[in-house]
Chains A and B, each alone.
Chain A
């Protein structure tokens, strides 16, 4: 029997991480309302000069906890292991996806922190760092999209008496993947829904990520608890 000690501890880090992320999100002055790509270099430089402290502290928080979602994704990959598949390919794929988003997010995070490190530098440079940060932050979707679609596929293929996840979880994941997709094209527009402060690239994308974390958190918790309840009988 595979050991499951500590699974619950890792699982309960999820709400803690979620609370920290939400606080950091609201602490960062550039998220509410999201900074517009049409801001002039001087306006961006002024923003970094006026809000230096909040940018630094919120981004330091993100810097600490950016990788916090990895245990949850690996827990999901372990559930996929229990599905009725003949090969571990899909759980390998989920493991391969786990590190990507935090890595990309850390790159964006670094550019924000660099921007606020010397806000007195030339506005052109601050604008460049700000562009790099926002573009990286907005386009960090590829691994998330792949993760959702792979999870959905894994669930569709899990044909057994009592599947690990219910079918609606797969549909939900496909929906999230669709919601994340437009953000990849954010650089095509400075205004409108595609712009990095627009409806699709900012609101839909980030709300989809939040919804995914909440829903998958609940589903994962139920699955782990159900299995722990069954396990003594099975063993």
Chain B
């Protein structure tokens, strides 16, 4: 086994094949790419987020679908292509719990809960939106029904994410290996509580609690983005600190030593 050669591509290929943490880094990058694509696809390509208003009348909804016809069909096509990316991402989160000093039950529960979370989280919406955009000449009432189905399945099904955050936060709080800082556990509680707050979307057609409302959507989105950004950074730290042991995760050495150690690690 040779050490990495000079060119960046060569280095990348070497690391991809031989780096001791290749599986962890792979899953981490998949997660980063997934969230980037998620943002681009939902906000820019399909433009279904920020959400349309549930208060609209039927002609308005049909107009909304017509404006986005191609974007919806192509964008959700890409969604169908890539939503399998969440599998390595959830595997990494489950792995973080496996690395803690807690029962394996936590990691497996989280893995199973989140393995299907993409279905209520985005795929049902994608299917309903695709069918809605499929035939612009369909009975407008039916298009309106698909519109409700899409947004409510997307915003209104949060149990998976609430219970999932709770499982993760309990694991973090009782963990003695220091895989995550405790404050992230408490932040998980904030996130779980905002998942409760979207439930009124099932009840209101307008106002701050509707699925596009200031409280049910905007404030929740801010919390969700903050939470996601935190765990992406913290998982990166976890991978950097990983020693493949079972005891407490060591802290990162200071920067100067780290670069030296990296090259040693690479030689190993």
Residues of A in contact with B (beta carbons under 8 Å apart): 37, 85-90, 92-100, 103-104, 107, 124-125, 127-128, 131-132, 135-136, 139, 141-147, 149-150, 153, 156-157, 181, 184-188
Known contacts A103-B119, A124-B139, A157-B22; A132/B131 CB under 8 A: yes
Give the Cβ gap from A143 to chain B, nearest Cβ, in Å: 5
Chain B residue nearest to A131 (CB atoms) is B131
Cα of A31 to Cα of B267 in the assembled complex, Å: 56
Provide 25 A-B residue pairs closer than 8 Å at the C-beta atoms, listed in order of the A residue.
A88-B95, A89-B92, A90-B88, A92-B91, A92-B95, A95-B91, A96-B115, A97-B87, A103-B116, A104-B123, A124-B139, A124-B142, A128-B131, A132-B127, A139-B77, A139-B126, A139-B130, A150-B87, A157-B23, A181-B81, A184-B80, A185-B73, A185-B74, A187-B131, A188-B77
Chain A residue nearest to B123 (CB atoms) is A104
Instruction: Classify chain B: how many residues form its interface, as a range.
Output: 35 or more
Give the Cβ gap from A80 to chain B, nearest Cβ, in Å: 11
Give the Cβ gap from B113 to chain A, nearest Cβ, in Å: 10
Residues of B in contact with A (beta carbons under 8 Å apart): 17, 20-24, 26-27, 73-74, 76-78, 80-88, 90-92, 94-95, 98, 111-112, 114-116, 118-119, 123-124, 126-128, 130-131, 133-135, 138-139, 142, 146, 244
Q: Which residues in B have their C-beta under 8 angstroms from that of A85?
A: 23
B130, A187: Cβ atoms closer than 8 Å: yes
Q: Which residues in B have their C-beta under 8 angstroms from that of A104?
A: 119, 123
Q: Which residues in A have their C-beta under 8 angstroms from that of B21?
A: 86
B77, A184: Cβ atoms closer than 8 Å: yes
Cα of A149 to Cα of B116 in the assembled complex, Å: 19
Cα of A136 to Cα of B80 in the assembled complex, Å: 10
If A142-B118, A147-B87, A185-B77 are given as contacts, then 5 extra A-B residue pairs at C-beta distance below 8 Å, sorted by A number, are: A99-B115, A104-B119, A143-B87, A185-B73, A187-B77
Residue from the set A37, A95, A99 with the largest chain B CB neighbour count within 10 Å: A95
Known contacts A103-B119, A146-B84; A88/B98 CB under 8 A: yes
Question: Shortest 7 CB-CB distances between A and B: which pairs?
Answer: A146-B84, A92-B91, A184-B80, A96-B115, A185-B77, A93-B91, A184-B81
Q: Which residues in B have their C-beta under 8 angstroms from that of A146?
A: 84-85, 87-88
Q: Which residues in B have their C-beta under 8 angstroms from that of A186?
A: 77
Give the Cβ gap from A163 to chain B, nearest Cβ, in Å: 14
Chain A residue nearest to B85 (CB atoms) is A146
Give the Cβ gap from B149 to chain A, nearest Cβ, in Å: 9
B119, A100: Cβ atoms closer than 8 Å: yes
Chain A residue nearest to B86 (CB atoms) is A96
Q: Which residues in A have their C-beta under 8 angstroms from that of B17?
A: 156-157
